[in-house]
Amino acid sequence: MRRLALVLSLPLLAQPAAEWRAYNERGEAAFRDGRIEESVREFDKAIALEPRLAPHHWQRGISLYYLGRFDDCRKQFELHKTVNPEDVENSVWHFLCAARAKSAAEAHKNLIEIRNDGRAPMMQVFAMFRGEMTPEAVLKTAGGNRDALFYAHLYIGLWHEAYGRAKEAATHLGKAAGEFSTDHYMGDVARIHVARLKKE
């Protein structure tokens, strides 16, 4: 996902950036530590201070997913689409929320359409969620690029999980959190997800 830092250039912020940014940074830190409920509280405080953050806040959507607040999660990613309409990850997380709230089949019917996400292998990931590409083809597209392989394994794992294929999901998510781990927010998501799987 694209970083929330994109909104730092918003003109005429209602509050000094340091105030809402501090809450936002605490929310991110809480998520990394596995304190998911606390992360949402901190993100909500940031948004209360600067409401124009709300549509940009995909991190909040991911936290809502892990709290099991799937309808709120779905709404957050629908809102994010208004400011980031060509982000495959937004479409995928919206799908994941809807799949958990209802079913993968129902989520598939309402998949947010994406036409041009230039990051490898995002359009292939989107094609997989549309049912038009295999996981093997997604991995082939990622080639030898470590970051692309991280995203490929993360989203292949989440795709398998959405359809109830726990073994396949664990294999790919384990690779995203292990062999192809990366030091950014989505890397934290992979690690948190795997840690939660191990507790189940």
Q: What tens digit of pLDDT does each residue of 82-133 get?
A: 999 999 999 999 999 999 999 999 999 999 999 999 999 999 999 999 999 9
Rounded CA gap, 157 and 191, in Å?
13
Helices and strands counted in the chain (H then E)? 11, 0
The verdict on pTM exceeding 0.75 is yes
Q: pLDDT in tens for each of the 200 residues of the chain?
A: 765 544 444 444 455 688 999 999 999 999 999 999 999 999 999 999 999 999 999 999 999 999 999 999 999 999 999 999 999 999 999 999 999 999 999 999 999 999 999 999 999 999 999 999 999 999 999 999 999 999 999 999 999 999 999 999 999 999 999 999 999 999 999 999 999 999 98
Domain segments of the chain as ranges: 118-200
Report long-range pairs for 77-84 (Cβ below 8 Å, ≥24 apart). 77/112, 78/112, 79/54, 79/55, 80/55, 80/56, 81/112, 82/55, 83/55, 83/56, 84/2, 84/56, 84/58
Go through the chain and tell me how many residues it has: 200
